[in-house]
């Protein structure tokens, strides 16, 4: 325990006047309270802090019971979350657990940077335990396939685009430590940190409102248009007619109208690159799936089983066949 720095209920203010403060019993959190189960030693930062005149991070003891139950209730069952094709993702209480990897230091540096810069649309890093990172859970539901009607609304489209733009703005000028996954297009100059998988399944929605970005495993330097193009592919969507229904979309969806709306909300002087960026990206994705499958990687089994290679090939054909029409819509 530590005392209020004034060591009493009154202290002398900067102008010599005595000021009275409501006092609490203060818990020093530098030692990192242990997980309530006493079987794990995770140190977890606290979401509420007292004013800066306290010399260490601290929390009123009256909040501790609520904090510990919110951060990680051992009575909760650890459940696997939807998605996570290449990384098992589980939820325990108000936390999310994900496997670490070579990319982890760069991802953690990114998450900490976003928190420092006031970006509220990403998980908070809480620690690492047993080879897994511990993140805060963002309340809502990811826009997994088939896309639900709420995620097809113009509100979902607009808020998804705004969320991506705010993420980019928060990362301008950030240099990540080694380990980030290199997706940068050859011969281009980085503008921001890209998510590199900005799609509805990596966006958390509350109803039809996008509130959070998740899964930053592929994050790395790039141009804004690199993320915009992929989001447009997924949310316009720029996919083959034969793939619309399987993805949850009605065949009457106004793909070009939604594409124009995305670029009105997030303008880019490089917008005419979108058709080529998407087809090139899909080619790399197909190559990755086939290469990893040939190497016996079990994480791509779902991609093979669901014929993602065939889906991407059909979408490439759609974009190539309608390239002039798409470009006209982008003018």
pLDDT digits (tens, 9 = 90+) for 139-168: 999 999 999 999 999 999 999 999 999 999
Cα separations (Å) of 242 from 201, 250, 311, 315?
20, 11, 9, 9
Count of alpha carbons within 13 angstroms of residue 271, beta-carbon side = 18
Residue 62 pLDDT greater than 90, yes or no: no
pLDDT at 294 over 60: yes
Q: How far apart are CA 157 and CA 233, in angstroms?
A: 12
Number of Cα atoms under 13 Å in the Cβ half of residue 62 = 4
Q: What's the mean pLDDT in 84-95?
A: 80
Tell the CATH topology of 79-136: Phosphorylase Kinase; domain 1 (3.30.200)
Average pLDDT over all residues of the chain: 84
Instruction: Give the residue range(s) of CATH 3.90.1200 domains in the chain.
Output: 141-330
User: Which pLDDT value is given to residue 6?
Assistant: 40
The string of pLDDT tens digits covering residues 206-261 is 999 999 999 999 999 999 999 999 999 999 999 999 999 999 999 999 999 999 99
Q: Would you place residue 81 in the very low, low, confident or very high pLDDT band (cuts 50, 70, 90)?
A: confident
First and final C-alpha spacing in the chain: 64
Confidence band (pLDDT; 50, 70, 90) for 88?
confident
Strand residue runs (E) in 55-147: 58-60, 79-80, 89-92, 95-99, 125-129, 132-136, 141-142
Q: Under a CB-based contact definition with an 8 Å cutoff, are residues 86 and 181 in contact?
A: no
Closest to 303 in 3D by CA, of 284, 286, 279, 278:
286
Give the model's confidence band at 325: pLDDT under 50 very low, under 70 low, under 90 confident, else very high: very high
Please give the CATH number for the structural domain made up of 141-330.
3.90.1200
How much is the pLDDT for 78? 86
- The arithmetic mean of pLDDT across residues 12-39, rounded, is 41
Is there a contact between 262 and 254 (Cβ–Cβ < 8 Å)?
no
Instruction: Give pLDDT tens digits for 39-53.
Output: 344 444 444 333 433
Q: What is the DSSP letter of 146?
A: S
- Give the pLDDT score at 72: 53
């Amino acid at each position: 325990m530590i005392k209020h720095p004034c060591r009493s209920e009154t202290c002398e203010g900067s102008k010599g006047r005595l000021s009275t403060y409501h006092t609490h019993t203060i818990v020093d959190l530098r030692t990192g309270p242990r997980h309530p189960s006493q079987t794990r030693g995770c140190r977890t930062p606290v979401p509420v802090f007292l004013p800066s005149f306290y010399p260490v991070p601290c929390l009123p003891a009256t909040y501790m019971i609520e904090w510990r139950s919110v951060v990680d209730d051992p009575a909760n069952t650890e459940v696997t979350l939807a998605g996570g094709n290449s990384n098992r993702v589980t939820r325990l209480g108000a936390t999310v657990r994900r496997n670490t990897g070579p990319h982890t230091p760069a991802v953690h540096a990114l998450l900490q940077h976003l928190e420092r810069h006031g970006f509220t649309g990403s998980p908070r890093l809480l620690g690492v335990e047993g080879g897994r990172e511990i993140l805060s859970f963002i309340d809502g539901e990811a826009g997994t396939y088939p896309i639900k009607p709420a995620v097809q609304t113009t509100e979902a489209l607009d808020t998804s685009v705004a969320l991506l733009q705010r993420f980019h703005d928060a990362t301008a000028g950030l240099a990540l430590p080694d380990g980030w996954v290199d997706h940068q297009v050859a011969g281009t100059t980085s503008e921001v940190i890209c998510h590199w998988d900005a799609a509805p399944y990596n966006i958390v929605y509350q109803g039809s409102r996008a509130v959070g970005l998740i899964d930053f495993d592929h994050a790395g330097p790039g141009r804004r248009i690199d993320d915009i193009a992929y989001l447009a592919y997924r949310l316009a969507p720029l996919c083959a007619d034969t793939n619309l229904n399987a993805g949850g979309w009605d065949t009457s969806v106004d793909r070009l109208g939604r594409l124009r709306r995305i670029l009105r909300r997030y303008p880019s002087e490089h917008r005419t690159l979108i058709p080529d960026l998407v087809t090139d990206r899909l080619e790399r994705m197909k190559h990755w799936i086939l290469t990893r499958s040939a190497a016996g990687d079990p994480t791509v089994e779902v991609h093979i089983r669901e014929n993602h290679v065939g889906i991407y090939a059909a979408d490439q054909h759609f974009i190539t066949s309608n390239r002039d029409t798409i470009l006209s819509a982008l003018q």
